[in-house]
């Protein structure tokens, strides 16, 4: 199997408006981005159509979440069919904020992964432990259970990017060291910044980033080009 391209996802979370996102998109469209890196931007659902229309075609667009069925009486949710209908090709599932702020279970995330893949979306599937879990020494147990719930619903891994996000590092300024990124997972999210991206990207077992706050800034271009 051919090696996967270096992958950089930008998770905009619940940030931005047409003006600021339009400026960011203008910056990304005008930047020289490495052709060897696959880039996907995760837009708030209300701006998915806007992002897909404005972003250069070589940059992918992801929803930040979706539900596990095609349609129905699920107020506030969006489906993979809707995501595809506006031209986006990816969805982020299992993000720590979905798990810990909104109470999504491993089982529900697994069901969402199965449905998104069945509908033909690419999935950025997130796993990772909280600080209390790390300090209790149960990192491997937590991450294994999260990963199994995802893996049990995947037949074709070419459509899946697995993002390890040490929850204790997000938004704290702490970054998981390359040694703390589980070797078998190969994706990194913590506080990835323009300042540390080259060192992280150079590690043998890291083949991508899922970037939070820095993906809203011009330094996102430096992160995309970290391998080169």
Of the residues 38, 95, 115, 129, only one is catalytic, namely 95
Q: Is 95 a catalytic residue?
A: yes
Q: Is 165 a catalytic residue?
A: yes
Q: Which residues contact 98 (CB under 8 A, 6 or more apart)?
A: 65, 104, 109
Cβ count near 105 (within 10 Å):
10
What distance in Å separates the CA atoms of residue 182 and residue 184, rounded to the nearest whole number? 6
Place of tokens 């996802």: 9
Of the residues 38, 97, 129, 165, only one is catalytic, namely 165
Q: How far is CA 17 from the centre of its chain?
A: 20
Per-residue three-class SS string for 28-66:
HHHCCCCCCEEEEEEECHHHHHHHHHHCCCCCEEEECCC
Say whether 80 sits in a helix, a strand or coil.
helix
User: Across 59-102, where does the E strand assignment appear?
Assistant: 60-63, 90-93
Which element (helix H / strand E) includes 85?
Answer: helix 80-85
Compute the CA torsion angle 96, 123, 189, 16 (nearest 10 deg): -80
Catalytic residues: 95, 165
């Amino acid at each position: 199997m051919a090696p996967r391209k270096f992958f950089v996802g930008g998770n905009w979370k619940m940030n931005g408006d047409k003006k600021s996102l339009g400026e960011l998109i203008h910056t990304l469209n005008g930047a020289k981005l490495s052709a060897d890196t696959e880039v996907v931007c995760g837009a708030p659902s209300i701006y998915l159509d806007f992002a897909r229309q404005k972003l250069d075609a070589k940059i992918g667009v992801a929803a930040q979440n979706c539900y596990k069925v095609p349609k129905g009486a699920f107020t506030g949710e969006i489906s993979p069919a809707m995501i595809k209908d506006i031209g986006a090709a990816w969805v982020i599932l299992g993000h720590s904020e979905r798990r810990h702020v909104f109470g999504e279970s491993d089982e529900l995330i697994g069901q969402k992964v199965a449905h998104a893949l069945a509908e033909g979306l690419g999935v950025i599937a997130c796993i990772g432990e909280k600080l209390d879990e790390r300090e209790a020494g149960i990192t491997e147990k937590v991450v294994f259970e999260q990963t199994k719930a995802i893996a049990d619903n995947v037949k074709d891994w070419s459509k899946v990017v697995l993002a390890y996000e040490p929850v204790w590092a997000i938004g704290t300024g702490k970054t998981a060291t390359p040694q703390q990124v589980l070797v078998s997972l190969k994706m990194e999210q913590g506080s990835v910044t323009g300042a540390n991206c080259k060192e992280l990207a150079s590690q043998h077992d890291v083949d991508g980033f899922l970037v939070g706050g820095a993906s809203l800034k011009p330094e996102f271009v430096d992160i995309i080009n970290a391998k080169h």
